[in-house]
Amino acid sequence: MQSVTDSLFPKKILSLFPRPGFWQYLLLLIPVTIIAYQAHFPVVMTFILAAAALVPLAHFLGEATEVISDKTGEHLSGIINATFGNAAELVIAIVAIKSGLIDIVKYSLVGSIIGNILLILGLSLFVGGIKFGNLRLSPVITGTTTIHLSMAAMCFVVPSVFAKEDSVLALNKYSVGIAVVLLLVYFVGVFYSMVNRENKEASQVIHEDIEATAPKWSLRTSLIVLISATVGLVYMSEILVHQIEPLVEATHIPPAFVGLIILPLVGNVAEHSVAVGTAMKNKINLSLAIAAESSVQIALFVSPVCVLIAGLFGQNFNLIFNKIELITLAMSIGGTWLVVHDNKSNWWEGFSLLSFYLIIAITAYFL
C-alpha cells in the first residue's frame, strides 16, 4: 500500500535527500497549506500553515546554495552566496512589494537585521555560554562584524536623515541612486573577501564548518533542489502575503509587529537553527559570522534590490525609514557592539540581547 509520503512526494524527489527526516516531513505542510488556501480555511490557520511551510523550503534552499558554492569553485561561490544567502527574505519582500505592503516590507528589513544580531546571536551566546562558560570571540570576526553592522546602520540612517520630503518621484530617484551604490559596495566587498588573505582564511574556516554538516548532493541534485525550493518559496510567499491584511483585520495585530517580528522569524528560522547548533558545538565564532553576514546581506543586497524591483510592479519603494525603525536598529547595533567589542562573551550577555529583542517585540505589538 502506498504511503501518504510517497503519494505526495514521489521516490525520485525523496531520493534527493539523504534520508527522510525532520526537514523532509515538514515539506508535507506545503500541500496542507495549498488545501487550506483553496478551501478558504480561517485566515489565522492559513497564515500559520504558510509560514511553517516556508521554513523547510528556506532550509533546503540554504543547503543547496552551500553545496553549489562548494562545487563551483572559490570565485563563483562568493557570487552564489551573495545572491542566494538571504533568498527567503528577498522572495517574501518582493511578493509583499508586489501586493503593495511597502510599510510592512520596510519593517521586515529592519526586523531581519535586529533578529540576526539580537535573537540569533543572543540565543547562540546564551546556549553556548551555559554549556561552555566564558566564550572567546575571534578578533578578526568581531572586527568584521563591527564594520558590517556599522555599514548596515549607515545604509538605513543616512538616506532617511538627509532626505527631504519632496515629491515621491524625487525620493524614488534618490533611493535608486543609493541602491546602486549599496549593491556596488556589496559586490566589491564580496570580491575583497575572496582575494584578501586574512578574510579568505577566516571565510575558509567558516565554510569548512558549514560544509561538514551539508548534505552530500551532486551539483545536478543541488540545482534541482535550489530551483524547486525557490519555486516553492514564491508560491508559499504568495499565500502568506495574501493573508497579511485579513490577519491584521481579524486579529488586530499591528502591521509593525507583523513586519518587525513575524516575517523575519519565518525567513530566518533555518539560520537560527544553524547558528544555535554551532554554538552548542563550541563554534561561537561561526554563529557570530552567520548573524553578521546575514545582516549585511539584508542592508547591502536585499534592501537595494527591493528598491530596484519595486518599479517593475508599479510600486514606490524608497530607503526612507521612520523614527521607530531607525532608533530600534541603532540601539540594537549599539548593544551588540558592547557585547562583542572586547572579544569575549558569556550567557548573561546573550540573555541581555534576548531580553532587548523581547522588549522590542512587546513594544511593536502595542504600538
pLDDT of residue 78 exceeding 60: no
The C-alpha cell at 237 is: 510567499
CB 53 within 8 A of CB 33: yes
At a CB cut-off of 8 Å and minimum separation 6, what does 227 contact? none
Q: Which helix (H) or strand (E) holds 296?
A: helix 284-297
| CA distance linking residue 61 with residue 94, whole number of Å | 17
Q: What is the pTM of this model?
A: 0.84
Q: Where are the beta strands (DSSP E) in the chain?
A: 135-136, 344-345
CATH number at residue 58: 1.20.1420.30
Quick: pLDDT tens for 269-304: 777 777 888 888 888 888 888 888 888 888 889 999
pLDDT of residue 106 exceeding 90: yes
> How distant, in Å, are the alpha carbons of 147, 156, 268, 308, 367 from that of 212?
28, 35, 21, 37, 44
Most confidently modeled of 82-91, 101-110, 190-199, 273-282?
A: 101-110
- Domain span at residue 197 reads 4-365
| CA distance linking residue 326 with residue 110, whole number of Å | 8
At a CB cut-off of 8 Å and minimum separation 6, what does 230 contact? 61, 87, 91
Average pLDDT over residues 201-223: 64
CB 115 within 8 A of CB 268: yes
Count: domains in the chain: 1
Write down the H helix ranges in 99-218: 102-114, 121-132, 139-162, 168-195, 197-213
The per-residue pLDDT for 15 is: 54
